Amino acid sequence: MDSRRINVSVNSEIGKLQHVLIHTPGPELEKITPENAHFYLFSDILNMQVAQKEYGYFKKVLQKATQVHEIGDLLTDILTSDNIKFSLVDRVCKAENKGFLAEYLKSLPAEELSCKLIEGLFLDDVTYINNEKAALTPVPNLFFMRDASFTMFDNIMISNMATTVRARECMILDAIYNLHPMFETKVINPVMSYETHGIGTVEGGDVEIIRDDVVICGLGARTNMHGVEALVEHLKTKPGVKHLIFQELPLTPDSFIHLDMVFTMLDVDKCMVYKPVIMNSAFKTFHITIDGQKAVGVEAPDLLSALKDVGLDLEPVYCGNGDDTFAAREQWHSGCNFFCVAPGQFLGYGRNQRTLQALNNAGFNVVTAADVVNNRWDLGNGKKCIVAFEGNELSRGGGGARCMTMPVQRMAVEW
């Protein structure tokens, strides 16, 4: 096992990245068919070979900037312990009513079991159980690492997903974070810990850590009000005054499922904004100030105003370069979804040309993933940049660079 210890710490969206978790999409993508795509939350069918090629450049850029860890490798590490293997298999089989598979799964070597838990299992003698060909369903959404867990300050938070089809992702990640020796942290499921109704949902794509005292959260199709309340309760356990700003999101279409599809941080003074949602009074913004056990909420004019009220005066860069038609087209393919490796240095899809032009106009150099991988551009130079990587296939999965990353350690930011 990897003996390096990571003191989990994420106090911003933009601090220099030290450690990040990813999952390279694999054969689980090829289990998606026209008949089951909606069940697996996909609106299209991805070509695995093309997606992996695009993802390869994305991963290589991350490796130029930080320490990168594959979830599959970490899962294999912990499964070398029979106690952990048996416990995780029992948990998965019980949750998914697949007890008949437990003995077989427990017999598998760690690496093979790791693959099966992600890619699924097809056995000829148990096909069409519950009208599903898979004896153990795959988890093709796992490469969207941000959804099933997220880092909040010094804790790793396990999401309570809005759909049961992604529940195994949370089980796998919960086991890794709690049992792999690499992580120095307390793992918390905020809904299970603080929400008394049993119906709360919160997903990591909706939660953004802006500053060490400011968290923003989406309220929409994937995170409900009970989930937001659970986050408030968790913030009450942290020292000092905290601010939780939550933003209503449209329930449709699917491109609005998370806050990071309409708003992401780019630098200490700049953010990416999808104007038709963020600057639209039809979608309310609420600012909750948390001081000890006291929480007071007020409505704010919009998200940018609420952030300004806590000392974050951000200049918006508009998706689609301010043209609503192009903004809608590019937002659909994650044109607002950027991931920072350092303040003012971030990754995003190269297909969203109008948005890239807006970023260039705002002072960010537009460079390609190939430029970084082939050492034509050095991220260590400190220059502001958007690293554009090919994502024509990946974007069809419904997420972007932020969705595909799970940072667990960032350096502090000088605001």
Each residue's pLDDT tens digit, 373-404: 999 999 999 999 999 999 999 999 999 999 99
Q: Can you list the positions of beta strands (E) in 268-379? A: 270-273, 285-291, 294-300, 315-318, 339-342, 345-349, 365-368
DSSP designation for 392? T
Split at pLDDT 50, 70, 90, the class of 122 is: confident
Rounded to whole angstroms, how far apart are CA atoms 315 and 304?
A: 9
Least confident window among 1-10, 16-25, 222-231, 255-264: 1-10
Each residue's pLDDT tens digit, 185-208: 999 999 999 988 889 999 999 999
Rounded to whole angstroms, how far apart are CA atoms 409 and 406?
A: 9
Cβ–Cβ under 8 Å, residues 134 and 120: yes
pLDDT at 27: 96
Each residue's pLDDT tens digit, 168-184: 999 999 999 999 999 99
Helix 353-361 vs helix 324-332: crossing angle, to nearest 10: 110
pLDDT at 305: 98
Rounded to whole angstroms, how far apart are CA atoms 245 and 298?
A: 10
Q: What average pLDDT does this structure show over 242-270?
A: 96
Fold of domain 6-410: L-arginine/glycine Amidinotransferase; Chain A (3.75.10)
Segment holding 270, helix H or strand E: strand 270-273
* 3-state SS class at 380: helix
pLDDT at 195: 85
Q: What average pLDDT does this structure show over 57-73?
A: 98
Q: What average pLDDT does this structure show over 74-79?
A: 98
Least confident window among 13-17, 30-34, 47-51, 156-160: 30-34
Each residue's pLDDT tens digit, 313-348: 999 999 999 899 999 999 999 999 999 999 999 999
For 151, what's the count of Cα atoms within 13 Å in the CB-facing half-sphere?
28
| pTM tops 0.85, yes or no | yes
pLDDT at 2: 47
* Sequence-separated (6 or more) residues with CB below 8 Å from residue 377: 365, 367, 371, 385, 387
Whether the pLDDT of residue 152 is over 90: the answer is yes
User: Which tokens sit at 178?
Assistant: 């709690």
Each residue's pLDDT tens digit, 288-302: 999 999 999 999 999
Least confident window among 71-80, 122-131, 169-178, 390-399: 122-131
User: Which tokens sit at 294?
Assistant: 């006291």
